[in-house]
Amino acid sequence: MAESLREQQLCMAGHIRDPLANPPPPGVDARRLAVYRQLFFGNLQSLLAGSFPVLHASLAAEHWQGLSEDFYANHRCQTPLFTEVGGEWVEYLQGRTDQPGWIAELAHYEWIETALLLSDADQPEHDPEGDLLDGVPVLSSLAVPLAYAWPVSHIGPEHLPGEVPAEPTLLLAHRGAGHKVTFSRLAPLAHALLVALQDQPLSGREHLAALAEAAGVAPSAIEAQGLALLLSLKAQGVVLGTRCDQAGFGLLVMCDRL
C-alpha cells in the first residue's frame, strides 16, 4: 500500500512538473490536476519574478515562460527552502549554455543581494587594530568581490547588450550597517586585492608584492597605494582587521584585545 501511494505521488508530481512528458495518475480528474499545476507553477513563477525583477522585465514573456517551465520540469533543487530557490535558479541558468551569457550573469548579480541580506554568517575572529601590512588582513564574510563579463549593473529592458564589452565589470557587494547591501565599482587593483584576501592568508605586504609581480612593477611602486586601499576598505567595514593567530618570525601572535 505504501509503495503504491509513493508511486501515485511520484506520478502526480511528474505530471504537475511536465504534463506533456508524464501521463497523469489514473483516476484523478484532469481539472484538479490543472489546478494543482497552476498553483505550484504559479507560485514558483511569482517567486522568481519577485526575486529577479530586472531579468524578468528584460526577457520576452515567452522566453521567461520557457526558461521557468524547463527549470520547473527538469532542475532538481537541492534545498527545500523557498529563500534558497533563487540560488538554484542561478545554478540552472549557468548550466544553460545555449542562452545569451548575460542572462546567467544578471541573475547572479540580482541574487547576490538577496544572499547577503539573508546571510547569517558569523564574522571571523580578528584584531581590529592589527597592522594591515605586516598582519594578515581579514575580509568581512559579508563582502564579496564580483567579476562579470557583461555590464550587469546597466542591463535592463531598454539596455540589452549585444556583445561582450572589452573590459569586465568589477564590483564589490557588501552588507554594511543597517543591514543594507551596496554595490560599488572596483578598479582592477582593488578587485585583485580583494580576491587575493579571499583566497590566501598572506600578510598585506605579501599580497601587494604578489600583485606588483603580476603587474611587472616593483613592490615599492604600489605599496603606498595598496596600504591606502586597505585602510579605506577597513573604514568601510569590508576589511575587518587582521587575523588573531598568525605565524610571524616563528612566534604565535595572539589577539588580546577581543
- For 144-207, what is the HEC assignment? EEEEECCCHHHCECCECCCCCCCCCEEEEEEECHHHCEEEEECCHHHHHHHHHHHHCCCCHHHH
> Contact, 137 vs 194, CB < 8 A?
no
Number of other CB atoms surrounding residue 9 within 10 Å: 11
pLDDT at 185: 97
What is the value of pTM for the model shown? Answer: 0.86
Regions of the chain with pLDDT less than 70: 1-3, 12, 15, 245-258
pLDDT at 134: 95
Provide the pairing of β-strand 181-185 with 246-248. unpaired
| Grid-cell match 562579470, residue found | 148
> Contact, 54 vs 155, CB < 8 A?
yes
pLDDT at 3: 58
Using alpha carbons, select from 138, 136, 90 the residue that is nearest to residue 113: 90
Q: Please, what are the domains in the chain?
A: 2-118 (1.10.150.690), 137-253 (3.90.930)
Helices 204-215 and 188-199 pack at an angle, to 10 degrees, of 130
Q: What is the pLDDT of residues 223-241, one digit of tens each?
A: 999 999 999 999 999 999 9
Virtual torsion, Cα 223, 225, 231, 234, nearest 10 deg: -100
pLDDT at 59: 97
pLDDT at 253: 40
Residues 141, 83: Cα–Cα separation, whole Å: 19
pLDDT at 252: 37
> Contact, 195 vs 202, CB < 8 A?
no
What's the Cα-to-Cα distance from 181 to each of 1, 8, 66, 136, 155, rounded to whole Å?
A: 52, 45, 31, 25, 19
